[in-house]
Structure 1
């Protein structure tokens, strides 16, 4: 699985677009897998920092327990319009790594934002990526640009 920096080095334009869509509204949705394999959708605030993609959540929250048991996830930006003509859509899938040494990340977070969460009140995950997708509208076509690790990028346009 690729770190965000590795993906961005391979696909800088797609990475910039996807990152901008997640930055447009800090709130995003993450899909995790429950114990029984059913999907769970939860809110998160993804953070692109230090060449990685991070998500934090309350300790022992259901989404955190899901990721600690099965690290697979899908992350979806907040889509603001049904037509997607204004901004587009972005999705990221991959694997979440539970991060126990939060010191450097939290220091850098404080320097960037002024926010300093209590490390004991935060489960932190570093996300690696296996798939990144953008969906935009160009003229009368919906354009899906998808990258899969080891397979490169595929563009599909649909009217």
Structure 2
């Protein structure tokens, strides 16, 4: 599987990236799927941050999700459906790998801008897939972006 940083996705498909980012920024909490030691899935709540042209995941020190990602960086992240269950803005999810950031300067830059509670684990997202599912008129529209093949749109009635 090929991976790309958020910045590459934003360069390749700026309008789609803006739609996806807006959907994540509309609500504070989202659902992160990681893999446990035995390979079974773990779902947990998570806040995401877009800074410096990238998508970031911050976690409490030694949280199960952080330990999962340190062991196996694969993840899936699903946007909050919203309080009214309207799915306004569509259903958005991303998947890929989370790269832990340990470089002191990079962490300091993040801390200066975001002011997160410390200590924490910081991960930068590398995308393998971005998917948005929405209803447009009488069609179900699924847009998928992957590094390499790019954007694909499927419409169903």
User: Above 0.5 in TM-score?
Assistant: yes
Residue 132 of structure 1 corresponds to which residue in structure 2?
130
- Deviations along 1:3-24, one digit per CA (max 9) or x if unpaired, are 1111100011110000000000
Matches for 1:88-127 after TM superposition, within 5 Å: 88-100=90-102, 101=104, 102-110=107-115, 116-118=116-118, 121-127=119-125
Corresponding residue to 1:70 among 69, 72, 83: 72
Q: Distance in 2 between matches of 1:126 and 1:13?
A: 21
Q: Distance in 2 between matches of 1:8 and 1:87?
A: 18
Residue 156 of structure 1 corresponds to which residue in structure 2?
154
- Deviations along 1:83-115, one digit per CA (max 9) or x if unpaired, are 53x3211111111111123101111114xxxxx
Aligned residues: 151
Q: Give ranges in structure 2 of 5+ residues lacking alignment.
A: none
| Shift >3 Å, 4+ stretches | 81-84
